[in-house]
Amino acid sequence: MDALTIDLVPDEGDASGAFVTAAGEARDAAQAETDAALARASQTLWPQRLDTGWQCVSTAAGACASPADLPVHGWLAAQVPGTVAGARRAAGLLDLANPPPLAFDDHWYRLALAGTGKRRLRLHGLATVAEVWLDGVRHLDSDSMFVTHDLDIELNGSATLALCFRSLTPALAAKRSRARWRPRLVSPPTLRNVRTTLLGHMPGWCPSVQAVGPWRPVEMLGDASHAFDTVDVSSRIDGDDGLVSLTLRFVHPHDEARCRAALECGDRVSSLQWRDAYTLTGSVRVPRVQRWWPHTHGEPTLYSLTLQLDDGRATSHVLGRVGFRSMEADRGADGMGFALRVNGLPVFCRGACWTSADLVTLGGSEAQLRHAFTLAREAGMNMLRVGGTMVYESDTFYALADEYGMLVWQDFALANFDYPNDAAFSASIEREATQFLVRTRRFASLAILCGGSEVDQQAAMFGLPPSMRAQPLFTEQLPAIVARERSDVPYVSNSPSGGVWPFSTNEGVTHYYGVGAYQRPLDDVRRSQVRFAAECLAFANVPDDATLRDALGTIHLHDPRWKAAVPRDPGAGWDFDDVRDHYLQTLYGVEPARLRYEDPERYLDLSRAVVAELMADVFAEWRRTGSTCGGALVWQLQDLRPGAGWGLIDATGRPKSALHGLARTLQPIQVLITDEGLNGLDIHLHNERAQPLGAQLELVCLREGGVKVASASCEVELAPHGVQRLSAAACLGQFFDFTHAYRFGPRAHDVTIATLRDRTSGQIISEAFHLPERRIGDRHELGLTVAAERNGDGWQLVIETRRFARFVHIVDPHYRAAQDWFHLPPNRRCVVPLIALLPSAPPDRFVAHASNAVFKADATYPAPAGEVRAVNAISATFYG
């Protein structure tokens, strides 16, 4: 044997100048290669996504009976998972202002397969009436976009897989039981008979982009001996411990005596047992487990799961992460309420109703989803609702909800209709609901399961008595499936439901639009005694100037493109611009129509300000001490097209003023002010964290925005998960007409400011404002100054003012403000980080920006240059 030569070389990563051997490097390289080989072997165990190489073509309905009839030309490259609309958009062939009725033509997809032997195809979602063909032979039919199909095939070298998506016309014309009511929301009404999303079929507010195509992944299960078929994971709390259970099914049978397996969770490992040659089962107990919490109340702790297999060669396979928590619905002492308890603790649920990260593909990328979750979490939201008019979201969505500590209210994909009650429809729902619950069983964030949206409400509003509007689908079938598959999640029959009328605000779950569509005054929020609002506060929320300029190319308010994006109820003689204008007039005392044509820029700014104020005030009322409300979700989180839609986030991914308004009211540590009329002001302090908080509360009243006319300060102790209510009068210790209710003369002040500071550092934790007069009067010279400065790799603005500045708004063509639409007290330095606006997508893309990080400030990106406005300032202040 030749002698081993060892060359010593310096290790550049070691500052001490230590040496490593070339042989050591060789060993490391060999180990790296081994690890890579094991990783590749592990990947072959998981289903292989068939996501490239697809083509699609569209034909007239019924033109091609089989793949043999398909045209030679006209095929487009297609992404799977994806839709026909997505393929056309990528090819520049989709006009989203006037989308074609895709659901009423036929569409074909094809893909070349290669291999030898038996395989299993898994099709996770085909929208909607679909056929699956292999080499010209029809193997499968599907009539629901919400179910997964398995198809066992045999390959002999090469084959062509074809998917046909047929026109909905025959399914819509099929005879079924007569509907007792027909909602105006959806067109056509016979969509009740078809298991497809209502997105694209609600012309009052949703673009008519209809779902057609393989919108969920198409997979081929691996041919490796250990190839996974299904991985079913569940977790639960058992005393102080966590218990996670696994049922793992393989594609091929195993020699049970030769293959040992174990499940690892955290630092605990437990052996698994063979139920049969295909199936491993078992569980592992984690002592004194850390609970998963919504981010507002604690850490969303997750534990990694690893499968260890040993049949002569030990391998490890990461199975994802799980959380441990308990969820309970609290109906209150009178049995008429609704709230959520997480790990035994009452949680005020606040957030918004989800639409879609990308209406065209119905999916959206992980980056788009992360962007939306980041904005929601930063605003203080802890719940998102996936409504019955939408789709079941991807595993990535629910995994991110787990990671971000975001509760999910999940409707089944049922809304508004009197659904068929025949055996075929019931069987379809059984399969759909079961598959969804099994697929999402591992996710801790799933907090509420709801039968559907506005079904009972529709029937009641048509005048039907309870006996005639009941549907066993919601009262018997779905609750039984939930009890069987996810008994750890509370079930609600419908949203809304629970009152004398299903939509009664003071019982059960409601949809509250008193302030909003019904144009009720703000005091209606308290009068309505809302228990839980699964929808609320729909306004036509105006995007910022950058979106109006980039996406619409205009800010002319009577441009057809503007009105096309404003939501409206079908058949109504008004739209949600009119709703916003109502509050602009009643709260601010301006004439909207006149302001709109005399000063459109100010009209837009006041329109943005008024919805920010309404959002903040309504949620302050619902969060106040003594409120009956257990939670509320704004309709909606994100727009489906650019413009003044219901979304808190616009279609380009930029937050609107409404989201900034909510962020001032929804934080875990929060000071709020409520107007109690002749009783003055109440100050409400919230500490949702698990740690006590010692703080200093400061109360200041200003006249003419800068003259201090009353002030007080006191120390407060906030218990973990504690709330306090203090009277402003008690804090001050003498009479002061905080609300200008007694009117013993002119108002003595313009604004009251409550500031909560950390007792040790003096840092502001939370701040609330009360204006005894909301009307927009004369504008003033505020003495507002702005300076742009670098902050590491980014930029920030330093803003100061000599007089109280109302609704400070930052306008920059290249940046948006991390904090915007806020009030600024006088003589205080305010630092606002700037976030770069990524190049805007074309108006037909509906693509949210992927990054919420501060953009690196370098020579390739311009320095900030813009203006800072305030609604009470006589003019803007420019910088840059």
* Adjacent-strand bridge partners of 8: 21
Same domain, 171 and 260: no
What's the Rg (C-alpha) of the chain?
A: 30
Q: Which helix (H) or strand (E) holds 216?
A: none
DSSP state of 41: H
- Residue 2 has what pLDDT? 33
pLDDT tens-digit readout, 31-44:
455 444 444 445 56
pLDDT tens-digit readout, 225-239:
779 999 999 999 999
Question: Are β-strands 830-836 and 509-512 bridged in parallel, bridged antiparallel, or unpaired?
Answer: unpaired
- Residue 45 has what pLDDT? 83
pLDDT at 22 over 60: no
* Separation in Å, CA 462 to CA 260, 276, 278, 466, 503: 62, 54, 53, 11, 13
> Is residue 345 in a domain?
no
Say what angle helices 423-439 and 478-485 make with each other, to 10 degrees: 30
3-state secondary structure 166-191: ECCHHHHHCCCCCCCCCCCCCCCHHH
The sheet carrying 815-817 orders its strands as 785-791, 794-800, 830-836, 815-817
| Residue where a domain terminates, one of 638, 662, 686 | 662
* Separation in Å, CA 14 to CA 9, 20, 540: 12, 10, 60
Residues 6+ apart with CB under 8 A from 184: 569, 570, 571
d(CA 356, CA 200): 12
Q: What are the DSSP calls for 331-389, one per residue?
A: --TTS---EEEETTEEE-EEEEEE--S-TTTSS--HHHHHHHHHHHHHTT--EEEE-TT
> Is residue 63 in a domain?
yes
Please calculate the CA angle 798-799-801 and round it to the nearest 5 degrees. 150
| Residue where a domain terminates, one of 616, 645, 662 | 662
> Is residue 327 in a domain?
no
Same domain, 297 and 374: no
Of the CA atoms within 13 Å of residue 486, those in its CB half-sphere come to 30
| Helix boundaries (H) for 379-521 | 395-404, 423-439, 455-461, 466-469, 472, 478-485
Name the token pair of 673. 């002010």
d(CA 104, CA 122): 26
Judged by average pLDDT, the poorest of 16-30, 99-113, 352-366 is 16-30
Same domain, 703 and 833: no
Identify the residue whose tokens are 């081929």: 220
- Residue 555 has what pLDDT? 59
Residue 804 CB burial class (10 angstroms; 0-12, 13-18, ≥19): buried
Q: What's 541's domain CATH number? A: 3.20.20.80
> Is residue 340 in a domain?
no
Average pLDDT, the chain: 91
- % of the chain exceeding 90 in pLDDT: 82
Of the CA atoms within 13 Å of residue 38, those in its CB half-sphere come to 15
Backbone angles phi, psi at 94, to 5 degrees: -120, 120
d(CA 113, CA 134): 10
d(CA 694, CA 418): 55
Q: What is the domain count for the chain?
A: 6
Output 707 or 572, whichever has higher pLDDT: 707
> Is residue 334 in a domain?
no
Q: What's 250's domain CATH number? A: 2.60.40.10
d(CA 654, CA 637): 11
CB count within 10 Å of CB 608 equals 27
pLDDT tens-digit readout, 282-292:
999 999 999 99
Same domain, 172 and 243: no
Cα 717 versus chain centre, distance: 34
Same domain, 601 and 677: no
| Residue where a domain terminates, one of 156, 187, 221 | 221
> Is residue 1 in a domain?
no
Output 30 or 450, whichever has higher pLDDT: 450
pLDDT tens-digit readout, 709-742:
999 999 999 999 999 999 999 999 999 999 999 9
Same domain, 208 and 289: no
The whole-number average pLDDT for the span 79-93 is 97
> Is residue 344 in a domain?
no
Same domain, 27 and 74: no
d(CA 769, CA 823): 8
> Is residue 341 in a domain?
no
d(CA 535, CA 522): 17
Same domain, 685 and 825: no
Q: Are 246 and 217 a contacting pair, CB within 8 Å?
A: no
pLDDT tens-digit readout, 576-615:
999 999 999 999 999 999 999 999 999 999 999 999 999 9
pLDDT tens-digit readout, 845-866:
333 333 333 333 444 678 999 9
- Residue 425 has what pLDDT? 96
Same domain, 108 and 23: no
Q: What's 144's domain CATH number? A: 2.60.120.260
pLDDT at 12 over 50: no
The model carries a pTM of 0.93
Same domain, 162 and 304: no
First to last CA, the chain: 75
Name the token pair of 232. 């079913």
- Residue 37 has what pLDDT? 44
Same domain, 61 and 170: yes
- Residue 560 has what pLDDT? 81
Query: What is the domain range of residue 176?
Result: 48-221
Same domain, 414 and 509: yes
- Residue 554 has what pLDDT? 60
d(CA 7, CA 22): 6
Residue 787 CB burial class (10 angstroms; 0-12, 13-18, ≥19): exposed
